[in-house]
Amino acid sequence: MIIKWKPLVVNLLISLGVGAASALFTMNNMKALYADLNLPPLSPPAWVFGIVWTILFFLMGISAYMVYTSDANSDRKRNALIIYGVQLIFNLLWSIFFFNKQWYWFSFAWLIVLWFLILTMIVMFSNISRKAALLQIPYLLWVTFAGYLTAGVAILN
């Protein structure tokens, strides 16, 4: 397999850029708020989130690159990458709603929509590249866990 460096770098910059933007837009509220919240059981320490999200955004970028450079039908690739882009926007906005606005129940509902977007993306990616779809599974699992945490915060606060 020949690596196409420009599309790889662009896809990584897009996904990691969304993660960086999320951190940038919420950094004034994130750490202080997380420390002050009543958290549900199994809540990880705050430092875990940065590590996990960086890995997940990296995997997202690799996965999108695999879809983008595949030999699949261009309409199929375009549609899958549109869903990918939409879920990235939902991901970014969730952080703002949760940390900046402190709309916990709204954030939970938003996360449910994000979860279904991720699942849809995985199905669409699997029709193009099984490996690309599999790279998204940790993201779906983490967002499932984030749903538990978000609902817990909404209930406890």
Cα separation, 120 vs 50, whole angstroms: 25
pLDDT in tens, 9-67: 999 999 999 999 999 999 888 888 888 999 999 999 999 999 999 999 999 999 999 99
Instruction: Set out the domains of the chain in order of their start, with CATH numbers.
Output: 5-36+43-156 (1.20.1260.100)
Q: Residue 1: pLDDT above 80? A: no
CA-closest candidate to residue 132, choices 58, 36, 67, 44: 67
Mean residue pLDDT across the chain: 96
pLDDT of residue 30: 86
- Comparing 17-31, 87-101, 113-127, the range with the smallest average pLDDT is 17-31
pLDDT at 100: 95
pLDDT of 52: 98
Query: Which residue type, as a one-letter code, is found at position 102?
Result: Q
Angle between helical axes of 104-126 and 137-156 (0-180°, round to 10): 170
pTM equals 0.95
